[in-house]
Amino acid sequence: MATLVLDNGAYSAKIGFSQETVRVIPNCQFRSKTSRLKTFTANQLDEIKDPSGLFYILPFQKGYLVNWDVQRKVWDHLFGKEMFKVDFADTSVIITEPCFNFSSIQESMNEILFEEYQFQSVLRTNAGSLSAHHFFSSRPSELCCLLVDSGFSFTHIIPYCRSKKMKEGIRRVNVGGKLLTNHLKEIISYRQLHVMDETHVINQVKEDVCYVSQQFFKDMEISQMKGEENTVVRDYVLPDFSSIKKGFCKPREEMVFSGKYKTGEQILRLANERFAVPEMLFHPSDIGIQEMGIPEAIVHSIQSLPEEMHAHFFQNIVLTGGNILFSGFRERLEAELRALAPAHLPVSVLQPPNPICYPWEGGKLLAHSPDYDEIVVTREDFEENGHFICEEKFDI
Amino acid sequence: MVLEKKTSARVEAGQRRVLDEATRQRRLSRQLEALEKDNFQDDPLSSLPPPGPTARLPAFSETEEPEKKRRKTRGDHFKQRFRKNFTTLLEEENLSDRAEPNYLSAEAPPSSLPPRHFCCVCGFPSHYTCTTCGGRYCSSKCLCTHRETRCLKWTL
Ligand SMILES: [Zn+2]
Ligand SMILES: [Zn+2]
């Protein structure tokens, strides 16, 4: 029997059989200005030659699965003959859901996986639990870890003591990649060029030029300077999807500091935007979200847990999710935690080589573990016992 | 010159509308809600002009496919149950009177650090507050831009 591992994120699905490697695929549908009548599903995005003004149809809202029509279209495509060719009767699926997933969504999940698709068996879990499994598999001597999962919809801080999720310590900061991209769109549109319709393009700008500052107010000063002294400012050449397929930063030596470029490309000049946008992860109150930033929320989480565990948590903070890829994220978080944590406790923040696929890789390991068959619910079990058996076995 | 501008701005402030706290809060939550939006433009499908003789021929064959598929899915009964938005689902969970940790209780509490202020025009640290709307600005230049563009926008 095959096991399919699906880390079903609100923006991208991380999917692959446990014997194979992972693929990261958009978990949504798209419509484009150039072929208005067609709806593109998941990786059909690649067929759109001009993704300017790309329209998103997302199955998730605020991190929770609400649009099942869209989700099922994406899954039909992923499980189908063009992609993973799933033989449902002979396949087990490991699928992730957000922390505290609503009970009605959990029931819908059971019905769709067992009754619609008819998987042979199912393991529903949190991405954090797969990450924890990954972590403890590679460091069997550790007792605790604290996962920071910073994704598209929000950031979760989830403490694990061995395989046990410590629910009382979970904290959610309502800042994720979607908010950052929308905020970047908003400030660029106000300051220089209307890009409110260009989520796809500006998301790429964000990934290409934004970073987490190590010295926020110093960088503010630098980015206000004129000419060569301003080492923060970048000129970003926007794609036109004919001669320029992908946007890029002008190399420093080609930057024109005063006057205009003669090359005729469309350029965005980015200075404080580069680090003020990811700063929301550390100071949500900068834009009026009255919540702690990630470092403070981590300390708040650890303090809610038994004191004898504190040292273990501060030493094993593991970063997952797309926002971790902002350069400087880990260093800044470690520095801030060092300042906030009790002085006698060592602080260590670990960034896995692939923070986006770390949970998926944990799922892959779990699929090969000897007691896998005991933690799943089979279709037979579900037909006999219904939702009850899933509530018993799954820890969502 | 800068000084002059400042005095004239102050005089003007006397005549300008001053937004009350409730309006300022509403405006802030509207701005935050906008940051949750999936799209700002219209769906290209809904903004299609009615098909006329000029419509491209291949476009018609493209429509047929999704329609056929839609008829085939047995999901009509899903429509009711499976199409609730986030707010409805959250309300149905009845979380506010639960003792165990849940979605609402997990939200990070407000920061204990002092708030930081940035110019709503240029994004640099700001020291001044617009008397009309409570927005922040860093210089008379940014105040002018702010008044001409956003000061009383989103205030309905
Ligand atoms: Zn300013
Ligand atoms: Zn104002």
For the stretch A185-205, pLDDT in tens is 999 999 999 999 999 999 999
Q: Which residue in A100, A182, A292 is closest to B108 by CB distance?
A: A292
Tally helices (H) and strands (E) across chain A: 14, 20
Shortest Cα distance, chain A CAs vs residue B114, angstroms: 9
Give me the pLDDT at residue B55, please.
42
- Predicted structure pTM score: 0.91
Q: How far apart are CA A127 and CA A363, in angstroms?
A: 9
Give me the pLDDT at residue A42, please.
97
Looking at chain A, list the stretches that DSSP marks H as alpha helix, in order from N- to C-terminal side.
68-79, 103-111, 127-138, 177-191, 199-209, 216-222, 273-276, 294-303, 310-315, 329-340, 358-367, 372-375, 379-385, 387-393
Among A374, A381, A324, A370, residue whose Cα is nearest residue A349: A324
**A142 within 8 A of A316, measured Cβ to Cβ:** yes
* Chain A residues touching B47 at Cβ < 8 A: 36
Q: How far apart are CA A359 and CA A128, in angstroms?
A: 7
Q: Is the pLDDT of residue B23 over 50?
A: yes
Residue A31: strand pairing partners: A55
Q: Is the pLDDT of residue B80 over 70?
A: no
Give me the pLDDT at residue B25, please.
92
Cα A168-A396-B111 angle, rounded to 5 deg: 40
Strand (E) or helix (H) holding B18: none
Contact B108 A288 (CB under 8 A): no
**A363 within 8 A of A18, measured Cβ to Cβ:** yes
Would an 8 Å CB–CB cutoff place B55 in contact with chain A?
no
Residue A41: strand pairing partners: A29
Q: How far apart are CA A242 and CA A237, in angstroms?
A: 13
Strand (E) or helix (H) holding A270: strand A267-270
**B19 within 8 A of B132, measured Cβ to Cβ:** yes
Those residues with Cβ within 8 angstroms of residue A296's Cβ, 6 or more apart along the chain or in another chain = A340, B108, B111, B112, B113
Would an 8 Å CB–CB cutoff place A191 in contact with chain B?
yes
DSSP letters spanning A372-392: HHHHSEEHHHHHHHTHHHHHH
Q: How far apart are CA A113 and CA A105, in angstroms?
A: 12
Mean pLDDT of A207-227: 97
Residue B24, helix vs strand vs coil: helix
Q: Which two tokens stand for residue A107?
A: 């029931």
Contact A296 B123 (CB under 8 A): no
Mean pLDDT of A266-270: 96
* Chain A residues touching B48 at Cβ < 8 A: 36-37
Those residues with Cβ within 8 angstroms of residue A275's Cβ, 6 or more apart along the chain or in another chain = A210, A211, A212, A213, A216, A219, A223, A232
Give me the pLDDT at residue B8, please.
43
Would an 8 Å CB–CB cutoff place A189 in contact with chain B?
no
Unique residue bearing structure tokens 């399919």: A4
pLDDT-derived band at B154, boundaries 50, 70, 90: low
Which A positions 286-305 lie with beta carbon below 8 A of chain B? 286-293, 296-297, 300
Looking at chain B, list the stretches that DSSP marks H as alpha helix, in order from N- to C-terminal side.
2-15, 21-34, 57-72, 76-81, 86-92, 140-149
Would an 8 Å CB–CB cutoff place B33 in contact with chain A?
no
- Name the percent of chain A lying above pLDDT 70: 100
pLDDT-derived band at A37, boundaries 50, 70, 90: confident
* Chain A residues touching B125 at Cβ < 8 A: 217, 220
Mean pLDDT of A128-140: 97
Cα B55-B57-B60 angle, rounded to 5 deg: 90
Contact B34 A55 (CB under 8 A): no
Shortest Cα distance, chain A CAs vs residue B88, angstroms: 10
Q: How far apart are CA A289 and CA A120, in angstroms?
A: 44
Residue A176, helix vs strand vs coil: coil
CA dihedral B101, B103, B105, B110 (to 10 degrees): 150
Residue A303, helix vs strand vs coil: helix
Mean pLDDT of chain A: 96
For the stretch B36-69, pLDDT in tens is 999 999 998 887 666 555 444 444 444 444 444 4
Q: Which residue in B66, B89, B109 is closest to A292 by CB distance?
A: B109
Residue B156, helix vs strand vs coil: coil
DSSP letters spanning A84-123: T---GGGEEEEEEE-TT--HHHHHHHHHIIIIIS--SEEE
Q: Is the pLDDT of residue A109 over 60?
A: yes
The contacts found for A390-393 with CB under 8 angstroms, 24 or more apart, are: A390/A106, A390/A110, A390/A122, A390/A124, A391/A106
Q: How far apart are CA A114 and CA A389, in angstroms?
A: 13
Would an 8 Å CB–CB cutoff place A199 in contact with chain B?
yes
Q: Which two tokens stand for residue A259?
A: 């006057």
* Chain A residues touching B37 at Cβ < 8 A: 182
Give me the pLDDT at residue B96, please.
83
Among A57, A60, A58, A36, residue whose Cα is nearest residue A48: A36
Contact A197 B107 (CB under 8 A): no
Q: Strand pairing of A155-161 and A164-165?
A: antiparallel
pLDDT-derived band at A260, boundaries 50, 70, 90: confident
Q: Which residue in B41, B73, B111 is closest to A296 by CB distance?
A: B111
For the stretch B90-103, pLDDT in tens is 999 988 888 899 99
Would an 8 Å CB–CB cutoff place B32 in contact with chain A?
yes
Contact B101 A167 (CB under 8 A): yes
pLDDT-derived band at B152, boundaries 50, 70, 90: confident
**Backbone phi, psi, residue A155, to 5°:** -120, 130
Residue A125, helix vs strand vs coil: strand
